Amino acid sequence: MTDLIIRPWIKQDAQALAGIANNRNIWNQVRDALPSPYTVMDALQWIAHTAQEKPALNFAVVADGQVVGSIGCKTREDIYRKTIEIGYFIGEPFWGRGYAREAVSKILQYISRELDIIRVEAFTFDNNAASMQVLKSCGFQQESVRRKGVIKNGVLRDEYVWVWFTETT
């Protein structure tokens, strides 16, 4: 296996991030908030945003010194304050190498160690079998299906809800 790490984004990652995020196959599996096309300016704005996070919640996925993807968390508030959502993507040239599974495993370790969280959620579209397999292999359980719960590319899709609980529960 490669030497995969997750680490905070740095300004020097902007070109690599734009290179992997500016991909229609990735955009088709993420929320519309990810710009498309994805430019170096978008990457620089994202990196600046992540630099303000305390604690860090969004990370570069780096394999053998090269940025291969992105993984991060979104905290919830109020009665959901012990819940966090994760999201991730791996650049298409790096698919099929186990990077997503390893990155998800590492972020779960980070969440368990650094954050006061009990419940971790992840969401997949019904046509993303690869991401569903990643989540299953990392111990997530499918909790529900939100039938016709999202619209992506003008198409109503089912959204699968996955959960993982920290070891403290």
C-beta separation of 134 from 100 below 8 A: yes
Tally of domains in the chain: 1
Residue appearing with tokens 């990196």: 47
Q: Which domain holds residue 121?
A: 4-165
CATH number at residue 57: 3.40.630.30
Q: Model-level pTM?
A: 0.95
| Rounded Cα distance, 90 and 66, in Å | 12
Please say if the pLDDT value at position 48 is more than 80: yes
| Rounded Cα distance, 12 and 50, in Å | 14
CA distances 103 to 15, 100, 166, 167, Å, are 21, 5, 16, 18
Q: How many residues does the chain have?
A: 169
Q: Which residues pair with 4 in a beta bridge?
A: 63
Confidence band, pLDDT 50/70/90 cuts, at residue 117: very high
Please say if the pLDDT value at position 161 is more than 90: yes
Residue 153 burial (10 A CB sphere; 0-12, 13-18, 19+): exposed
Tell me the mean pLDDT in the region 48-57.
96
